[in-house]
Amino acid sequence: MKHIAKFLVLLLAVVFYTGCTPEEKDLFGDSSANRLTNTLQAEKTLLCTPKNGWIMEYYPSSTQQYGGYNMWASFAADGSVKVMSEIYGTGTVKTSLYSLKQSAGAVLSFDTYNEVMHYFSDPANPDGIGAAGKGMEGDFEFTVLKAKADSVVLKGKKTGSVILMKALADNQSGSDYIASIIAAKAKFKFTTYKYVVNKDTIPVTSSNRNLTFTYKKDGSTVSVLAPYIVTPTGYKFYSPLTINGVTVTDLTYQNTGGDESFTPVNGVAAKLIVVYPPINQQLISGNWYFAYSGLSSLGKTDWDYAKTNGFDVIGEELYYAYLGKFSTGQYGFCFNSSGYTGALIYNYTLIANNQVKLTFTNSGAGDGVWYYSNAKFNYLINPLGTSTVRTFTLTTDDMKHPTWIKLTDNANANNTITLYKSGVAWPYDK
């Protein structure tokens, strides 16, 4: 019993001593909520620090099918952000609100509508790019993967596309940088190249800021798609491009005695050489847009009929139309009517260097057949030929950098169609 009594006294002493000691020190130093708040505040301060803002290398779409675009963003401590892009130019700066919040990591969100930023995510893209209800499928919410004073790496919450933000130097303004991109774009209007690497020469085509490299590997034909963004001095790939064991990330443009090419910044033995194909090859390798003003009187009569008896009847309007490749890869008359896309398919034959024969296949892609049968689209394509196979002679303003190509019907010189390299929205109004 004495031993038991001594044990109980000792136990009570321990309990009494423990209960009277100060609270145990927090091993983490602060609550998780406070730590998170501090982290978000630190990242907000980082975003607001560069006095000239950031350049965003923005890639819409989970597949980067539209390539990359340069945007400038300047964040303020009051939660506002100014945005400018190469699409709208230096004369358009839009202000909206942003926030940093927690959602499985810090998330940068452009909270209110911003015409410049949301150009890439608007389901009805202002220029009619992308499928109906999807647009270019871009992001306006981004997970912050890495944040440093001079660079921030973001990941689109919807697309998963990785976006790099670079802090501008104190001696360079956002408008200066965007202006340099616009100037580079005006210079780099190339559609065809050849890539020389390890003594191999590989044909390369360009569309929607994607370079397609096609070559033989182990007896099979391989096509490598390389999304890129325009820089002030050349191209930068979304991810490193490796062909024949040679890896390239950035290319610098050079013009030596009229020979134009792009060389790797890292100095590896490779070169992307600009090729100027004949005008008929340039026609079929790109997308060339229709405008009502570019039609002869014969074509305008057909298009007038299609508008009155087709578009007006179904209550739609033509967002754009071009001669080129549809998303399925088929060639023909491609269109977007009030968000619905389709194509009427043509076969083509190149003749000499300046002629093309177009043959309508009586088939379509997407919503093409429906519009042909129900909305008088047979009249829209009549200048190109429906039941009649037409051969056209091509002329242009510049054999190296054409901004338009004129098709003149060999069988009827009064039937002409002028197509434009730059996208034409609402062609009936142009």
Q: CA-to-CA distance for 185 and 206, rounded, in angstroms?
A: 13
Q: CA-to-CA distance for 385 and 319, rounded, in angstroms?
A: 22
pLDDT digits 0-9 by tens, 15-26 = 334 443 444 444
Q: Residue 128: its pLDDT value, please?
A: 84
Q: Residue 5: its pLDDT value, please?
A: 43
Architecture in CATH of 33-184: Beta Barrel (2.40)
**Bridge-based pairing state of the strands 404-409 and 54-58:** unpaired
Q: Which residue has the higher pLDDT, 260 or 14?
A: 260
Q: Poorest-confidence range of 27-36, 91-100, 302-311, 357-366?
A: 27-36
Which stretches of 170-318 are DSSP H helices?
Answer: 174-187, 279-285, 297-306, 312-314
Q: What is the mean pLDDT of residues 311-333?
A: 95
Question: What does residue 37 show for φ and ψ, rounded to 5 degrees?
Answer: -60, -40
The domain limits of the chain are 33-184, 189-275, 280-429
pLDDT at 10 over 70: no
Q: Residue 189: its pLDDT value, please?
A: 84
pLDDT digits 0-9 by tens, 369-378 = 999 999 999 9
pLDDT digits 0-9 by tens, 43-92 = 899 999 999 999 999 999 999 999 999 999 999 999 999 999 999 999 99
Q: CA-to-CA distance for 364 and 405, rounded, in angstroms?
A: 24
Q: What is the mean pLDDT of residues 280-284?
A: 93
pLDDT at 32 over 90: no
pLDDT at 250 over 60: yes
Q: Residue 340: its pLDDT value, please?
A: 95
Q: How confident is the model at residue 226 (pLDDT cuts 50, 70, 90)?
A: very high
- Asked if 359 and 348 count as a contact pair (C-beta separation under 8 A), the reply is yes
Q: Residue 234: its pLDDT value, please?
A: 98
Q: Residue 127: its pLDDT value, please?
A: 87
Return the SS3 of 32.
helix
pLDDT digits 0-9 by tens, 133-164 = 899 999 999 999 999 999 999 999 999 999 99
Q: Residue 173: its pLDDT value, please?
A: 96
Q: Do domains 33-184 and 189-275 have the same CATH topology?
A: yes
Mean pLDDT of the chain, nearest integer: 91
Q: Residue 191: its pLDDT value, please?
A: 83
Q: Residue 29: its pLDDT value, please?
A: 54
- Asked if 131 and 343 count as a contact pair (C-beta separation under 8 A), the reply is no
DSSP letter, residue 310: I
Q: CA-to-CA distance for 90 and 244, rounded, in angstroms?
A: 40
Q: CA-to-CA distance for 372 and 177, rounded, in angstroms?
A: 45
Q: Which amino acid, residue 308?
A: T
Q: Residue 38: its pLDDT value, please?
A: 75
Q: CA-to-CA distance for 8 and 112, rounded, in angstroms?
A: 68
Q: How confident is the model at residue 104 (pLDDT cuts 50, 70, 90)?
A: confident
Looking at the chain, the whole-number percentage of residues with pLDDT higher than 90 is 79
Residues in the chain: 430
Q: What is the mean pLDDT of residues 389-393?
A: 97
Q: What is the mean pLDDT of residues 414-426?
A: 96
Q: Residue 96: its pLDDT value, please?
A: 97
User: CB within 8 A of 247, min separation 6: which ones?
Assistant: 240, 241, 266, 268
Q: How confident is the model at residue 11 (pLDDT cuts 50, 70, 90)?
A: very low
Q: What is the DSSP string of 116-170?
A: TGGGTT-SS-TT--SBTTTBT---SEEEEEEE-SSEEEEEETTT--EEEEEEPPT
Q: Which CATH class is domain 189-275?
A: mainly beta
Q: What is the mean pLDDT of residues 268-297?
A: 94
